[in-house]
Amino acid sequence: MGRLFGTDGVRGVANADLTAEMALGLSVAAATVLARAGSDQGDRGDQEDARRPVAVVGRDPRASGEFLEAAVVAGLASAGVDVVRVGVLPTPAVAYLTGSLRADFGVMLSASHNPMPDNGIKFFAAGGHKLADDLEDRIETAYRDHARGEPWARPVGAGVGRVTDYDEGFDAYVSHLVGVLPNKLTGLRVVIDAAHGAASRVAPEAFARAGAEIITIGAEPDGLNINDGYGSTHLDALRTAVLTHGAHLGIAVDGDADRCLAADAAGHTVDGDQILAVLAVAMREAGTLVGDTVVATVMSNLGFTLAMEREGLRLRQTSVGDRYVLEEMKRGGYSLGGEQSGHVIVSDHATTGDGTLTGLLLAARVAATGRPLAELAGVMERLPQVLINVPDVDRTRVRESRELAEAVTEAERQLGETGRVLLRPSGTEPLVRVMVEAADAAQARTVAAGLADAVKSALG
């Protein structure tokens, strides 16, 4: 049986892969692992109610989130955990509230940018931090033990967990977002695309409180339309709205609002690398960029690397995945990191990627400088990047194939110092990802196609 936890929690098709029974079992297992050390889960009586562990539970607006939330809450309460239910809020809001309410852990029900039939369960440790691998492993072990019939300590009487709704969570989170901005957004007209997702109320409210004139699209969730034609994975609607309304910029988040992409006044996409570059320069000027260092993944555009060099900033690169960015940020005490996909982490204000916060900080930079977003994003030039997925190959032999190593060496010789090659085996599928960057788009396509053929020949 494969590992339940992927790179961002447990995900699958709701009610097929991810069932109510699984959600309940995972919640009990999480309570066992993440609850306060030493908490007695037996019948402790009213006088020790305050010692019960506490969990914050939120979700995105997917229809399946309704029954999965019920299962999670039932599992936690049955394991003696008091549940603070915050309703439909972004993933970073649940992380923030887990920390601000000093809860023992948090639970978010979302499949992020995935289509509506999917859903997922993500756990946060105390303080709102993502779980380390060993904690996920312990939760999975406990879950499998329970599934095989091993009993857990079931509290009774006054020992069972209590469930309360925390409607104040919305205002607390929005106030936090607006409160960390370095300046108001007065004078800016901003289009906000909320992906019919978890930020459909939060993002418009935050930008309005910050002083922007807002036009909102993709903010009418009905449980079925999340990420459907809107949001950071479908930018056409944002680009069109920016042009139609003559906006200074547009901001698009994904379904759970942990990532953000943008559009400038001409409707051109501003990706995560460009956003990261803009914020890095702003934070360096403000003296908040720790070590003058930015953390990004190996998939960042070569243009980003060159821009950081020109700006005199250091770059730390990690494997693909925001969890690896976070790990490196924690290890070095760095304050800014992110991915091309729009996961941007500003550790002074958030413990995870926060799309609404990223959009606010980007807009604040535009307002503070009086410069158009296109000009600010011009700090880096995106080099042409070609990505080819090569399926049905043995991804485990990428590093040991001499034939493939020779093909990569030849590709790097052709590209010289103005290009880059990256071969990356997929972590979940039998395929290898071929990424090539070059100053010339035609050359990037030619080299990528040749490498894809080499992968098929060497690993097929």
Distance of CA 272 to the CA centre of its chain: 12
pLDDT in tens, 288-321: 999 999 999 988 998 999 999 999 999 999 988 8
What CATH code is assigned to 10-166?
Answer: 3.40.120.10
CB 376 within 8 A of CB 382: no
Give me the pLDDT at residue 123, please: 96
Give me the pLDDT at residue 36, please: 55
Give me the pLDDT at residue 2, please: 64
Share of the chain above pLDDT 90, in %: 79
Mean pLDDT of 374-393: 92
Rounded to an integer, what distance in angstroms lies between the CA atom of residue 36 and that of residue 401? 48
Q: Helices in 378-440 by DSSP H: which ranges?
A: 402-415
SS3 at position 185: coil
Identity of residue 188: L
Catalytic entry in 64, 110, 112, 401: 112
What CATH code is assigned to 385-459?
Answer: 3.30.310.50
Confidence label for 239 from pLDDT (cuts 50, 70 and 90): very high
- Residue 256 marked ligand-binding: yes
Fold agreement (10-166, 171-377): yes
414/269: higher pLDDT: 269
pTM here is: 0.89
Give me the pLDDT at residue 44, please: 38
Token pair belonging to 120: 């997922």
Rounded to an integer, what distance in angstroms lies between the CA atom of residue 378 and that of residue 269? 12
SS3 at position 43: coil
What's the mean pLDDT when you consider all of the chain? Answer: 92
Confidence label for 457 from pLDDT (cuts 50, 70 and 90): confident
Q: Does residue 42 surpass a pLDDT of 90?
A: no
Confidence label for 147 from pLDDT (cuts 50, 70 and 90): confident
Mean pLDDT of 189-204: 98
**DSSP for 409-422, written as a single string:** HHHHHHHGGG-EEE
Q: Does residue 37 surpass a pLDDT of 50?
A: no
Domain ranges of the chain: 10-166, 171-377, 385-459
77/384: higher pLDDT: 77
- Rounded to 10°, the helix 91-100/355-369 angle is 90
pLDDT in tens, 114-141: 999 999 999 999 999 999 889 999 999 9
Give me the pLDDT at residue 256, please: 97
Confidence label for 236 from pLDDT (cuts 50, 70 and 90): very high
β 431-437/385-391 pair status:
antiparallel
Say what the alpha-carbon torsion angle 275, 280, 283, 287 is, to the nearest 10 degrees: 180
Region label for 366, one of left (φ > 0), alpha (ψ between -120 and 50) or beta (otherwise): alpha
Confidence label for 322 from pLDDT (cuts 50, 70 and 90): confident
Q: Which of 38-42, 359-363, 402-406 has the lowest mean pLDDT?
A: 38-42
**DSSP for 247-267, written as a single string:** -SEEEEE-TTSS-EEEEETTS
Q: Does residue 323 surpass a pLDDT of 90?
A: no
Distance of CA 282 to the CA centre of its chain: 22
Mean pLDDT of 431-452: 91
Exposed/middle/buried for residue 258 (C-beta within 10 Å: 0-12, 13-18, 19+):
buried
Q: Which of 4-8, 356-360, 376-380, 437-441 has the lowest mean pLDDT?
A: 4-8
Which string of b and e fits 305-328 if b means at least 16 CB within 10 Å?
bebbeeeebeebebebbbbbbbbb
Rounded to an integer, what distance in angstroms lies between the CA atom of residue 58 and that of residue 175? 18
- Residue 258 marked ligand-binding: yes
Q: Does residue 428 surpass a pLDDT of 90?
A: no
Share of the chain above pLDDT 70, in %: 96
Identity of residue 226: I
Q: Does residue 47 surpass a pLDDT of 70?
A: no
The long-range contacts involving 65-71, CB below 8 angstroms and separated by at least 24 positions, are: 65/109, 65/110, 65/119, 65/223, 66/223, 67/15, 67/20, 68/14, 68/18, 68/20, 68/23, 68/109, 68/119, 68/121, 69/109, 70/20, 71/20, 71/21, 71/23, 71/24, 71/27
Catalytic annotation on 457? no
pLDDT in tens, 341-353: 999 999 999 999 9
Give me the pLDDT at residue 1, please: 52
Rounded to an integer, what distance in angstroms lies between the CA atom of residue 255 and that of residue 193? 10
Mean pLDDT of 182-193: 98
Q: If we measure between CA atoms, which residue out of 263, 270, 274 comes closest to residue 296?
A: 274
Confidence label for 399 from pLDDT (cuts 50, 70 and 90): confident
SS3 at position 324: helix
In the 8-state DSSP scheme, what is residue 382?
P
CB 354 within 8 A of CB 258: yes
- φ/ψ (deg, to 5) at 37: -60, 135
What radius of gyration, in Å, describes the C-alpha atoms of the chain? 23
Distance of CA 277 to the CA centre of its chain: 18
Confidence label for 158 from pLDDT (cuts 50, 70 and 90): very high
Tokens 């599992």 locate to 75
Rounded to an integer, what distance in angstroms lies between the CA atom of residue 124 and that of residue 132? 10
Q: Which fold has domain 171-377?
A: Alpha-D-Glucose-1,6-Bisphosphate; Chain A, domain 3 (3.40.120)
Mean pLDDT of 432-437: 91
β 189-193/213-217 pair status:
parallel
Q: Which of 78-87, 202-211, 303-312, 419-428 has the lowest mean pLDDT?
A: 419-428
pLDDT in tens, 76-108: 999 999 999 999 999 999 999 999 999 999 999
Q: Does residue 241 surpass a pLDDT of 50?
A: yes
Identity of residue 30: A
